[in-house]
Structure 1
């Protein structure tokens, strides 16, 4: 078995595992009718990224990109509509969803009609990669500074962070092996953000712990 095939299988396993972490959150939300701590924007942005990378995968004929982003798009769509069905004020999430649909339609319109066919896949990959890079950089530039300010690790999960590192590392390795920066570029800040959060867990303790750094 070649290295690329091994890394491809690892990438599929870790990615599907990460996708399914939203199932308990979604199930708890539906069961309790409480959507206060559900990361709806990440489900929406994740869905946009999945759809765009699915099309990109079809254009570059990458079966792993196609299969994993199809699974991700289906699951994130379920999470989105489950959230909308539960949340009391539906106008804001519906507006965000409409904005996401407009973004996707606008992106494909401009890329289709303003880009030569030869560069369509490249520009789609670049646009999607930049979107995912911004989304996966939020722990570095928003969440970690907030946790440092509060000296708290509430909302963190060591298992989730380890899973994030495993998943992002496998995608980084896969992207390097197929020489596609659009695949590995967004995963670098994801790894750095997860490592940074683990560092905060070491310093401030697990969520709910009263042990604080002096």
Structure 2
């Protein structure tokens, strides 16, 4: 089982890193069009927050896979937020969201630094990481009303959603091997949510 765990961890890590890189395709569309259009910065902002919290959880567990993946993830998501900022007309929205996220990360780091009960700290950080991850998976749904109104999925990031679906399945298996509910639960929901988002591309083909 230990060998299988390493294989799943490696596969899930590579897939997740590739998932993070799909943001480049989305940003290329912004650069090509010269605008972000009706898109929301929330997927990138929530992705940055999620990566930061999972990175802290990885350090608490001393899990190399979580540390490497989320170090890369946090860096890329921040770059995507900056790109979004340059091409959106609602720059104040991006600034407000990033200020709120940064403040949350700082508070979390301070808490984990000074809480002397390590098991309690792991539980709290794992719980928060799970909740934020669910928000990250559901972020494209913020455009659901626009999709249904226009009967078009052009505002949804298809590469990101597809990669999310595949990655969730792998991290779900990894969470099952570790017996970690904080990894299992968000990835069960992530699979369901991303699967639903993919069906919208069948209902409203671009």
Relative contact order, CA 8 A, sep 6+: which one is greater?
Answer: 2
Cα shift at 1:179: 1.3
**Structure 1 length-normalised TM:** 0.81
1:30-79 alpha-carbon deviations (Å, 9 max, x no partner): 34431224441111111011011111101111111000001100000101
Q: Are the aligned partners of 1:35 and 1:83 in contact in 2 as well (CA < 8 Å)?
A: yes
Q: Give the paired residue count.
A: 204
Q: C-alpha distance in 1, partners of 2:104/2:60?
A: 20
1:185 is paired with a residue of what secondary structure? helix
Q: Where is the helix percentage greater, Structure 1 or Structure 2?
A: 2
**Structure 2 length-normalised TM:** 0.84
Query: Any gaps of 5 or more consecutive residues in structure 2?
Result: none
1:105-127 alpha-carbon deviations (Å, 9 max, x no partner): 22333444466344212211111
1:86-97 map, 5 Å: 86-97=87-98
Which residue number in structure 2 is paired with residue 130 of structure 1?
Answer: 131
Query: Any gaps of 5 or more consecutive residues in structure 1?
Result: 208-214
1:108-150 alpha-carbon deviations (Å, 9 max, x no partner): 334444663442122111111112123324567x666875x55
1:154 to 2:153 alignment: yes
Q: Are the aligned partners of 1:111 and 1:123 in contact in 2 as well (CA < 8 Å)?
A: no
* 52-61 vs 20-29, greater mean Cα deviation: 20-29
Does the C-alpha gap of structure 1 residues 160 and 79 become closer, same or farther in structure 2, counting only changes over 3 Å?
closer
2:131 is paired with a residue of what secondary structure? helix
Between structure 1 and structure 2, the one with the greater Rg is: 1
Cα shift at 1:206: 2.0
1:206 to 2:205 alignment: yes
Q: Are the aligned partners of 2:133 and 2:186 in contact in 1 as well (CA < 8 Å)?
A: yes
1:133-144 map, 5 Å: 133-137=134-138
Does the C-alpha gap of structure 1 residues 19 and 160 become closer, same or farther in structure 2, counting only changes over 3 Å?
closer
Which residue number in structure 2 is paired with residue 167 of structure 1?
Answer: 167
Q: C-alpha distance in 2, partners of 1:27/1:59?
A: 36
Q: Are the aligned partners of 2:23 and 2:160 in contact in 1 as well (CA < 8 Å)?
A: no
Which residue number in structure 1 is paired with residue 37 of structure 2?
Answer: 36
Does the C-alpha gap of structure 1 residues 55 and 30 become closer, same or farther in structure 2, counting only changes over 3 Å?
same
- What is the Cα-based RMSD across aligned positions, in Å? 2.7
1:7-156 map, 5 Å: 7-113=8-114, 116-137=117-138, 150=149, 152=151, 154-155=153-154
